[in-house]
A and B are shown apart, each in its own frame.
Chain A
Amino acid sequence: MMARPARALLVGLAVVGAGIVVAALRVNQYVYFAGYVVLQYVVIATAWNILGGYAGYVNFGTPAFFALGAYTAVFLIQSTRAPLPVLILAGGLVSALLGLGIGYLTLRLRGVFFSIATLALSIVLQTMIINWEYVGGSRGLSVIRPSGPPFGSYVTFLFTVMVLLSVVAVTVARFIERSWIGRGLAALRDNEEAAECMGVPTLRLKLFATTVSGFLLGVAGAPFPYYVTFVEPNSAFNLDYAVNALAMPMIGGTTSWVGPVIGAVLLGTAQQLATVTISSEMNLFIVGVVLVAFVVLAPEGILGLVRRLRGR
């Protein structure tokens, strides 16, 4: 019975170990800088997929959850200079609360109406932050990184932290997917009314999914202030997050935890390469083209393609 979780733990530790080794290599700093963004998208895509992929509720409000994590961190840095682990935990918890609130919306809103509500939520929250001077308002705020990271430069340290957070997010998603919760979420994604009539506590499962998804999105955003060192609403609430969070799982495949990881690594890396080689505006263009291609040609993502090829 212990063999499977033990193996998963081992794989997770190996990935974190590999991350530390990569950090210790001290290659060009840009690699860590870009790697951080890709890993951040692994967390975001994985978190989004718990609600969007497993439960079938498409969330356009990713920026709201991400920025809430980031601004919770900004607030704590401003008020108490709390250490990074506290920022991450607090960012996650505040976004989890927002997720719980969104969960109650699913009582009345389904399908595209739910999606529109989450998009509106993002705009409302951004407006509130713009008008809150303490965290920088519309002008933004410079954040000074703590001196002396535990090892390497601060960017390599943050890179390693993101490796750890990615492992945590993927482990949580994988656990949910393979448990009774994942099976219940799949049932309610297929048909909510039938699921409820077959004994699935649909509301409770939806609240669980929105809360966990919100928590992980907040966790992804919490280290953001230290990464960019200058936080302002337009970058924290960037619509790119909404588009990427949705595109990456769709491209990888939404039915398994592997899908968002594949999508985030492929698309995230392509975006980073495009940013340095072509132009920084190209990255959204790439997402758009790839997403359209996948929706038309491979609606079940790369995983679906692989499965189809194997089947024949």
Chain B
Amino acid sequence: MAGTLLEVDGLTKRFGGFTALHRVSLSVRAGERFGLIGPNGSGKTTLLINCVSGALAADGGRILFEGRDITTLAAHRRTRLGIVRSFQIPKPFTSMTVRENLGIPLEYAAHARSQAGDADAEAAEILRTIGLEAKAHLRPAELTQIEMRKLELARAMAARPTLLISDEAMAGLSSVEVDDILALLFRLNEQGITIVMIEHIMRAVMRFSERVVVLDAGERIAEGTPAEIVRNPAVEKAYLGE
């Protein structure tokens, strides 16, 4: 398919006797806003975060990124290719300032790919976009909860992603703060970054995504536009039971 950025083909992942993912396939188009939903334990995080970003090795199937097989590539190599994740629970580099936090992906991912770049100017620009420029010289411990989430996004941005995987970036935030983060993600998408959103807050996923895939118990049960997904009886059953 033309314009396919990420292709997951028949991915299987087991933990001992438990099958977390069973032959899941999906594809994400370049520039798309893609939502992945499903009840707790359905395999969202296992699939996209751990297998696609490289923290866990898959037990079967293939993952293609820009047509290249990355199934066995180390996580940091995938980041350098442009697959970048943010963490659900922010994991900042605590001994560094906000600015220095951005320096790591700039140096190790963005500039490892393309030599050029003025790290200071780029960091300042990202912090301005995200709205953290006033906090550049603070340590993560001095930030508020929402600022931590923004730092998580800013750091991911500094890796210059082609594909950004946002893992529940909005869990636990107030509705104003959710709108704030959503607006940011929309803006990043306008800059040409493909975004995969994993989220429990339905209002946010449905508003954001152009296309949604639903997982349940490690299997793909539905795919469609948000409007189609809401009307899908299988999805309703997965969430609410019979």
Contacts and interface: CB of A to CB of B under 8 A. Distances in A.
Interface of A: 180, 183-184, 186-187, 189-191, 193-203, 255
A51 to B, nearest CB: 16
A184 B103 CA distance: 10
Interface of B: 53, 55, 74-76, 79-80, 84-85, 87, 91-96, 103-105, 107-109, 112, 155, 158-159
A166 B177 CA distance: 54
Contacts of A190: 92-96
User: A193, A195, A197, A202 — which one has the most chain B CB atoms within 10 A of its CB?
Assistant: A197
A195 B155 CA distance: 11
Given A194-B92, A198-B155, 18 more contacts: A184-B104, A187-B96, A187-B104, A189-B95, A191-B93, A191-B94, A193-B87, A195-B104, A196-B79, A197-B55, A197-B87, A198-B105, A198-B158, A199-B76, A199-B105, A199-B159, A200-B108, A201-B76
A202 B54 CA distance: 13
A186 B104 CA distance: 10
Given A197-B85, A199-B80, A191 B91 contact: yes
B87 A194 contact: yes
Contact of B104 (A200, A201, A203, A255): A200
Given A183-B103, A184-B104, A193-B91, A198 B96 contact: no
A6 B92 CA distance: 36
Nearest to A194: B91
Nearest to A193: B91
Contacts of B93: 186-187, 190-191, 194-195
B44 to A, nearest CB: 17
Contacts of A198: 76, 79, 84, 104-105, 108-109, 155, 158-159
A197 B96 contact: no
26 contacts: A183-B103, A183-B104, A186-B93, A189-B95, A190-B93, A191-B91, A191-B94, A194-B87, A194-B91, A195-B104, A196-B55, A196-B74, A196-B76, A196-B79, A197-B55, A197-B79, A197-B85, A197-B87, A198-B109, A198-B158, A199-B104, A199-B105, A199-B109, A199-B159, A200-B104, A201-B108
Contacts of B85: 197
Nearest to B87: A194
A242 B66 CA distance: 50
A195 to B, nearest CB: 7
Contacts of B91: 191, 193-194
Contacts of B74: 196, 201, 203
Contacts of A196: 55, 74-76, 79
Nearest to B79: A199
Nearest to B84: A197
Contacts of A255: 95
A255 B94 CA distance: 13
A241 to B, nearest CB: 27
Q: Which 3 A-B pairs have the closest CB atoms?
A: A199-B109, A199-B108, A190-B93
Q: Which of B75, B79, B104, B159 has the most chain A CB within a 10 Å cutoff?
A: B104
